[in-house]
Amino acid sequence: MSQPFPQARRAVQAMKAYLPPLEGRRSRVRLDFNENTQGFPEHLPDFDAGELTTYPEYTRLLQGLSRHLELPEEYLLITNGSDEGLFVTAFTFVEPDQDRALVAQPTFALIPHYLQLCQAVLEEVPNCQDLRFDLEGMEAALRRGVKMAILATPDNPTGAVLPLQRLRAWLRDFPETLFVIDEAYYEYYRQTALPLVRIHPNLVVSRTFSKAWGMAGLRLGFLAAHPQLIEWMRRVRSPYSVNALAVRALLDFLPRSELVQQQADALMVRKNYALQVLNGLGYRTTPGAANFFLIWAGLNSKALSAYLYDRGMLVRDRSSLPKMSGSVRVSVGSEAEMERLLHLLAEFTRGYAIIFDLDDTLVDTSQSYDTCISRLTGCSREQLLELRAEGGYNDDWDAAFELLRRDGRERPLVELQREGQQLYLQLAHQVETALFEEAHLQNLAARHPLFIYTGRPRQEFEPIWAPRLAPHFRDVLCKDDAEVTRPKPHPDGLHVLMARHRLHGGIYVGNSVDDMVAAKAAGLTAVGVTTNQSAERLRSAGADYIIEKIADLPALFLLDPA
């Protein structure tokens, strides 16, 4: 029997670990964790051995920060990045399992993490649908009574900001609540609550030198608050948590702070340009107020992130967070890095296909093909749909042949095809109707190239639908085109389109079991339309997403309504 080991606190056992950036990032373009990828390496000092063998000293740094911030030293506490500062504030002021703490949702992951570690009772206020802070919801929570409110402004990953006017009102109206304002991205937003710490004793401001100052690897930040709060938090902070190299680097660089602001301003100009380009590519974006933005890629957010990763560029898929499904967060890098990013995004967008089946996906054939098969076989539409649900009968004349064979009334396939096509061409112009609207196709085509791969032969497509559909689609492939060697459910036709147009990925939208099987075999995302098969059957055949009609497809890509 193994010896039992000491148990962690219940609060720790109940939590998930915060997952920091993965190792091995330095060899790639790092647009995933909001770092300053340029930094100021030419201004970092050389270090002597004495600085490494002696415990760090903080007096000169506090004096320099005091002058830089125009704030007395007794209002300042330096920390090991803003991470330590957030933990220190929570640990100092939260009574475990008793005090309530207000946070936004979603927000910087370490804010709720540290509060949970300190056993605060979380009061999470979901952001508005557009990811702005729900200020009225927050105020309602404050009126119910919270000991602490920790809000990042601008926040990460949303870029949301807390207006200073509202903060001033809350500081005045809720004096028993400690407001902790994380200003990690201050240099990009240029609005600060820092002067308010001299007026309101219920305010703590946190800053970091990891972002605009380019010192993420040195881990340096500070807290600003009323001296009594600082004195209490100093008791919690480890006495030597900030290393000597970080102290020396900031001391040498503080006199050049104007370089930091100049670089931050230039970065925001690059950001605005990137947003314009992305909007031109058909992407909806959330700019936010910091050195990053969100791209709303919808169902292919993971594909986009993976595409960039394979080409040496890191971004972060934020789809797992509340109200952020389909979003990718991108930090703004150097001019060369952003040029590379925009090139790859355009390349990804042009090479990601939306391929459609035709019958009962784009076009309602219930009164054409289905009627023809009924006349040829005497079987009901329900029998036909059951046969199609088995898979392998994507061709309507093959389906008619099989229905007759099973009923013991077998006829030559060539004869059925000839008779069926004659019936179809007589009926189609009169009874077939579109299941799409041009506006929806135009909306999708603004983002990705559109294609059709249909189980129809070309002579049944060209006279009926080619005039109306051709303007919206880059290419239409029919089952009897020379390059297609095997029909669906084989993926041959999809492979032909992918190779012919040098496509790297995409989706296949169809209504049948065979469509789903072909999509998965081709390595595409399968989107099932429930026009005549159930969602369950399509899912069992491999559908990744289910929609009721083509009009629902733009929403999967988070495109604005047409």
Tens-place pLDDT, residues 337-378? 999 999 999 999 999 999 999 999 999 988 877 777 777 787
Q: How high is the pLDDT of residue 44?
A: 65
Q: Percentage of the chain with pLDDT > 90?
A: 71
Residues 131 and 203 in one domain: yes
CA distance 427 to 422: 9
CA distance 366 to 554: 25
Residue 18 belongs to a domain: no
Residue 31 belongs to a domain: no
Domain that holds residue 199: 36-258
Q: Name the DSSP letter for residue 72.
A: -
Q: Mean pLDDT, to the nearest integer, of 76-98?
A: 95
Last residue within a domain, chosen from 431, 447, 477: 431
CB 524 within 8 A of CB 506: yes
Residues 90 and 122 in one domain: yes
Q: Which residues pair with 433 in a beta bridge?
A: 364
CATH of the domain at 288: 3.90.1150.10
DSSP one-letter string for 242-308: S-HHHHHHHHHHGGGHHHHHHHHHHHHHHHHHHHHHHHHTT-EEE--SSSEEEEE-GGGHHHHHHHH
How many CA atoms lie within 13 Å of 392's alpha carbon, on the beta-carbon side?
5
CB 526 within 8 A of CB 378: no
Residues 488 and 388 in one domain: no
Residues 526 and 492 in one domain: yes
Residues 82 and 193 in one domain: yes
Tens digits of residue pLDDT in 126-172? 999 999 999 999 999 999 999 999 999 999 999 999 999 999 999 99
Neighbours of 144 (CB within 10 A): 10
Tens digits of residue pLDDT in 7-58? 656 776 776 766 666 667 777 878 777 777 777 766 666 666 666 778 889 9
Residue 267 belongs to a domain: no
User: First vs last Cα of the chain: how many Å apart?
Assistant: 67
Residue 444 tokens read as: 């999708």
Is the pLDDT assigned to residue 539 strictly greater than 70? yes
Residues 103 and 68 in one domain: yes
CA angle 411, 412, 416 (to 5 degrees): 85
Tens digits of residue pLDDT in 176-207? 999 999 999 999 999 999 999 999 999 999 99
Cα torsion 89, 95, 97, 98: sign: negative
Last residue within a domain, chosen from 227, 258, 289: 258
Residue 390 belongs to a domain: yes
Residues 476 and 438 in one domain: yes
CA distance 215 to 270: 21
Cα torsion 340, 343, 344, 345: sign: positive
Domain count, the chain: 4
Listed in sequence order, the residues at least 6 apart from 304 whose beta carbon sits closer than 8 Å to its beta carbon are: 295, 297, 315, 328, 345, 348
Is the pLDDT assigned to residue 79 strictly greater than 70? yes
Q: How high is the pLDDT of residue 53?
A: 75
Residue 264 belongs to a domain: no
Tens digits of residue pLDDT in 411-426? 887 777 777 777 777 8
Residues 167 and 46 in one domain: yes
Q: Mean pLDDT, to the nearest integer, of 385-409?
A: 75
CA distance 386 to 399: 11
Last residue within a domain, chosen from 395, 411, 431: 431
Nearest residue to 331 (alpha-carbon basis) of 25, 49, 56, 69? 25
Residue 263 belongs to a domain: no
Q: How high is the pLDDT of residue 85?
A: 96
Is the pLDDT assigned to residue 273 strictly greater than 70? yes
Q: What is the mean pLDDT of the chain?
A: 90
Residue 98 belongs to a domain: yes
Residues 293 and 396 in one domain: no
Residues 318 and 465 in one domain: no
Q: Mean pLDDT, to the nearest integer, of 59-77?
A: 96
Residue 478 belongs to a domain: yes
Q: How high is the pLDDT of residue 47?
A: 66
DSSP H or E run through 507: strand 505-510
Q: How high is the pLDDT of residue 340?
A: 96
Is the pLDDT assigned to residue 562 strictly greater than 60? no
Q: Name the DSSP letter for residue 524.
A: P
Tens digits of residue pLDDT in 378-392? 778 778 778 777 777
Residues 371 and 333 in one domain: no
CATH of the domain at 117: 3.40.640.10
Q: Mean pLDDT, to the nearest integer, of 540-554?
A: 95
CATH of the domain at 496: 3.40.50.1000
Rounded to two decimals, the pTM is 0.87
Task: Give the three-state DSSP class for 347.
Answer: helix
Q: How high is the pLDDT of residue 39?
A: 72
Residues 170 and 246 in one domain: yes
